[in-house]
Amino acid sequence: MKKWLLKYMKDHAWLITLSIVIVVISALVDIMPPYIVKDAIDGYITNTSLPKAERLQGVSKDAFLFLAVISSSFLLNFLSLYISSYTGAKIVYEIRRDLFDHVLNLPMSFFDKTHSGVITTRITNDTQNLMEFFTTVVTSLVKDAFLIVGIIFMLVKLSSILLLHLSPVLVLVVIVTVVFRKYARRIYNIIRSNIAKINAFLAEHIAGMTVVQAFEVREIKKKEFRDITQEYYENAIKQLKLFGFFRPSIDWLYSFGIALIVWFGARYVYNQRIGIGTLFAFASYLDMFFSPIRDFAEKFDIAQNSLASADKIERILKNEREELGRGGRKHVEKGIVEFKDVWFAYEDENWVLKGINARFEPGGLNAIVGETGAGKTSMLSLLNLTYIPQKGDILIDGTRVHDYDLLELRRQIAVVPQEVILFSGTILDNVRLFDESIPEEKVEEALKKVHALEVFQKFPEGIKTKVTERGGNLSAGERQLIALARAVLFDAKILVLDEATASIDTATEARIQQTLFELAKDRNVITIAHRLSTVKDAKVIFVVHEGRIVEVGKHEELLKKKGFYHRLYSKLKEGGEEVGKVEDRADRSWQDSAKKTFGGTMEEFGNI
């Protein structure tokens, strides 16, 4: 049992103990009926030495006792099931709650490496598997263990000689169960891996259906899916054969055991070594002995599934959380940002940023330009410690970002990404991020500053218009306006824009640019610039090439240098294209998805 799981069980130890005590009592009660029937048959029904009235009285007493035992068994089983189900539901609720809380506090590097579908599966399906373990497997194993021990005791008590004749059957049962367990575990793990591949394939290709149809690779994808499902089918057939062998084998051994009991038991009854009631009880106990063994395959499958789920949940829990409150400084005064010899790599030493030195100050627009993959967005993702640089320092107002309270720091850095994330709710909810303490008037004021209020007031329900999942019912430009208003509303000292105007029409962009210049008067506005209008009017432009800042200056100054910026600008002017219109790391998720869609390997999803 996993240590982290034992911690949750420990919190509910008294309920688990109570459930186990009830299960043990229930097992002892369940053993009684065959013996009561045996007593009625041998003690009264076939005992001709007793008077008729005494025999009837004895049978009546055993009948009422039998009824009382059966009723007690029903009550105990109900209590056991109720308590174990309640305890399991409570434990799983706490695990699911803590797991989501843990995920909320993981660094962004975790989400880069972990498929979103995997995280969803861990929090929903895998926790549900644990509930089945607590409600079905734990109590059943305890009860079955006591039942088998109790039954063997009763078999010895009834007739040790009959048990001796039955011992070869019991040995064969043990051998068949051990062999089944060995091969079932192996094929189970293979099938889980096959299911993971199918789930990953479907998640990727349904999400990337636009790419599949646009490039007309449906037939290729059909073949790939057939190959994956064929592998699953073949292993599923192997599992069916294994299960198909186990259950009939146990049933045959049971029937063989009954045949041995009847064969030898009839002789012992004829020789009056045992009574008919004893023979009946012996056969009944044998049936009770085989019952949990017949269900072993199902319980084994649940247990394996639950333990596999526990392993996968543990892998997420082992990821270290961000230390949100590790620094003492809480407030950003001016918002001056400095990069001092910053080196950064997402993996190993594949450096994305190499020796970055830059200073971003309030009082004007700071722009970063460069071709795709140059490292522009990576620079800004280090600012609020979304990622942590391997070398160098980043300072805000002369203080290392590590010395700030991370939670407070992020509240004072507003980020407007190129790909805006919206949640199900209203436009109002998405601007104020569901913080109802912020009045509607302030939200309208923020929307007005980014020239968005008039846009949303045209909707039938205004800013109370419902937003569907990920903002699917809004245009890209409307989503950008919401993100801009969100940044303005929270009044951060540092405003970071990853080409937030890329999807907005030219007229609206001009108004927003004016707003940005107004905001830049008393705060630090840093933008990754793709369009000429943004670049030309910036106070300072940082030109990034292959992870290094190669040029710094204003638009006209950089053009006069006839350097990299001039070449970039000339290409843009000739082709009428945007500078670096596909962003680097932060915007490569779609490209990564396309890459996987057109031939990426599935091994990385083997643990889903």
- Residues 398, 374 share a domain: yes
Query: What confidence category does residue 574 fall into, taking pLDDT thresholds of 50, 70 and 90?
Result: low
Q: How many CB atoms lie within 10 A of CB 263?
A: 10
Q: Is the pLDDT of residue 524 over 60?
A: yes
Which of left, alpha, beta for 385 (phi over 0: left; psi -120 to 50: alpha)?
left
- CB contact at 8 A, 580 and 530: yes
Could you give the CA distance from residue 380 to residue 369 in angstroms, rounded to a whole number?
12
Q: 66: domain range?
A: 1-158+305-321
Question: SS3 of 133, please?
Answer: helix
Q: Is residue 329 part of a domain?
A: no
- Residues 15, 138 share a domain: yes
pLDDT digits (tens, 9 = 90+) for 391-432: 999 999 988 888 888 888 888 888 887 778 788 888 899 889
**b or e along 20-41 (b: 16 or more beta carbons within 10 Å of the residue's beta carbon)?**
bebbbbbbebbbbbbbbbbbbb
Q: Is the pLDDT of residue 133 over 90?
A: no
Query: What confidence category does residue 325 fall into, taking pLDDT thresholds of 50, 70 and 90?
Result: low
* Total count of domains within the chain: 3
Output the CA–CA distances (angstroms, integers) from residue 97 to 87, 100, 495, in the order listed: 15, 5, 33
pLDDT digits (tens, 9 = 90+) for 331-343: 888 889 999 999 9
Output the CA–CA distances (angstroms, integers) from residue 224 to 248, 334, 601, 608, in the order listed: 37, 56, 11, 19
**Average pLDDT of the residues in 223-233:** 90
- CB contact at 8 A, 329 and 398: no
Higher pLDDT among residues 490 and 591, named by residue: 490
Q: Is residue 298 part of a domain?
A: no
Q: Is the pLDDT of residue 71 over 90?
A: yes
Q: Is residue 296 part of a domain?
A: no
Query: What confidence category does residue 1 fall into, taking pLDDT thresholds of 50, 70 and 90?
Result: low
End residue of a domain, out of 321, 354, 382? 321
- Residues 149, 95 share a domain: yes
Q: Is residue 533 part of a domain?
A: yes
- How many CA atoms within 13 Å lie on the side-chain side of 113? 11
Q: Is residue 299 part of a domain?
A: no
Q: Tokens 């044998």 sit at which residue?
A: 286
**Average pLDDT of the residues in 558-576:** 79
pLDDT digits (tens, 9 = 90+) for 506-523: 766 776 777 777 778 778
The first and second tokens of residue 434, run together, are 């569901």
Higher pLDDT among residues 66 and 330, named by residue: 66
pLDDT digits (tens, 9 = 90+) for 453-481: 888 888 888 888 888 776 777 877 788 88
- Residues 199, 149 share a domain: no
pLDDT of residue 592: 43
- Residues 196, 115 share a domain: no
pLDDT of residue 580: 42
Nearest to 489, CA basis, from 412, 431, 410, 421 = 431
| Cα angle 289, 294, 295; round to 5 | 110
- Which of 189-198, 259-268, 425-434, 436-445 is the least confident region? 189-198
Query: What confidence category does residue 63 fall into, taking pLDDT thresholds of 50, 70 and 90?
Result: very high
pLDDT of residue 307: 82
Nearest to 514, CA basis, from 503, 496, 501, 502 = 501
Provide the residue type at 446 as one letter: A
- Residues 94, 137 share a domain: yes
The first and second tokens of residue 466, run together, are 């419902």
CATH number reported for the structural domain that contains residue 118 in this entry? 1.20.1560.10
Nearest to 413, CA basis, from 336, 339, 495, 329 = 495
**DSSP category for residue 41:** I
pLDDT of residue 532: 59
pLDDT digits (tens, 9 = 90+) for 277-301: 888 998 898 888 888 877 776 777 7
Could you give the CA distance from residue 568 to residue 587 in angstroms, rounded to a whole number?
20
Please name the residue ranges forming H helices in 271-422.
276-294, 296-317, 376-381, 406-411
pLDDT of residue 594: 39
pLDDT of residue 585: 37
pLDDT of residue 246: 84
pLDDT of residue 98: 92
The first and second tokens of residue 379, run together, are 């620079």
pLDDT of residue 577: 47
- Residues 45, 165 share a domain: no
Q: Is the pLDDT of residue 119 over 60?
A: yes
pLDDT of residue 523: 84
Q: Is residue 288 part of a domain?
A: no
pTM: 0.68
Provide the residue type at 244 as one letter: G
How many secondary structure helices (H) and strands (E) does the chain include?
23, 12
Mean pLDDT value across the chain: 82
pLDDT digits (tens, 9 = 90+) for 76-110: 999 988 998 899 899 999 999 999 999 988 887 78
Q: Is residue 238 part of a domain?
A: yes
Please name the residue ranges forming H helices in 208-217.
209-214
- Residues 546, 401 share a domain: yes
Q: Helices 276-294 & 218-270, crossing angle to 10 degrees?
A: 170
pLDDT of residue 423: 85
CB-based contacts of 443: which residues, under 8 Å, 6+ apart? 428, 431, 432, 463, 485, 489
Q: Is residue 280 part of a domain?
A: no
Question: SS3 of 209, please?
Answer: helix
pLDDT digits (tens, 9 = 90+) for 145-201: 888 889 989 989 888 888 888 888 888 988 888 888 788 878 877 887 788 788 778
- Residues 344, 412 share a domain: yes
- Residues 150, 201 share a domain: no
- Residues 166, 146 share a domain: no
- Residues 491, 374 share a domain: yes
**Average pLDDT of the residues in 581-589:** 38
CATH number reported for the structural domain that contains residue 570 in this entry? 3.40.50.300
pLDDT of residue 602: 38
